[in-house]
A = this chain, B = another copy of it.
């Protein structure tokens, strides 16, 4: 589908505000009506992009190898999280920020998106079985905490609301490691 490809390009190169139906239709030499017959409107198009964003995201996260040190695996997943977000930042804001008012993903695509979280929970479970992490909490809670520190730091970074003159990459890694340490048995 040329429309969807071009929409992704526009989103990546010029951001969500450049993604107007007329602009998009003109770029692929068709009319705005095509978006309505093929997708069902702009929200549905955004939904497709949302889906595409999570597909890329999950694909990247899946490249992290599984070792016998699950906590270290989690660190690597977190670093990959940030790399992915920075590389596809325009998709990231569609996925995790409110770029278009009143946009809500379909429950189907939402469920597909939630799949991105599954490997994290599984790896946490391995760390619990391992004895590295405390076990009195479900793996979802620990996974959520790690997910959130990534989400929070990346969100602040993408919005430019971080203390100036800060080397972000090492701070990110340090913060993730400390967060993981907080769930270690002691």
Q: Known pairs A17-B102, A144-B163, A181-B182. 10 more at Cβ < 8 A?
A: A17-B101, A93-B98, A97-B97, A145-B178, A148-B152, A148-B156, A151-B151, A152-B152, A152-B155, A182-B182
Which residues of A pack against B, CB within 8 Å?
A: 15-17, 93, 96-99, 101-102, 104, 110, 113-114, 117, 137, 140-142, 144-145, 147-153, 155-156, 159-163, 166, 171, 174-175, 177-183, 186
Tell me the nearest residue of chain B to A113, going by C-beta.
Answer: B161
A140 proximity list for chain B (CB < 8 A)? 163, 166
- The binding surface of chain A is classed by DSSP as helix
CA distance A86 to B175 in the complex (A): 25
Q: Which residues from B are CB-within-8-Å of A171?
A: 141, 144
Complex Cα spacing A155 to B153, Å: 11
Q: Tell me the complex Cα distance, A142–B17, Å.
A: 35
Residue of B nearest to A151 (CB): B152
Are A16 and B141 in contact, CB atoms less than 8 angstroms apart?
no
Least Cβ distance of A90 to chain B in Å? 11
Shortest distance between the CB of A128 and any CB in chain B (Å): 14
CB pairs A–B below 8 angstroms (11 shown): A99-B101, A113-B161, A114-B161, A141-B175, A144-B171, A145-B174, A148-B153, A151-B155, A155-B155, A178-B183, A179-B182
On whether the beta carbons of A144 and B153 are closer than 8 Å, the reply is yes
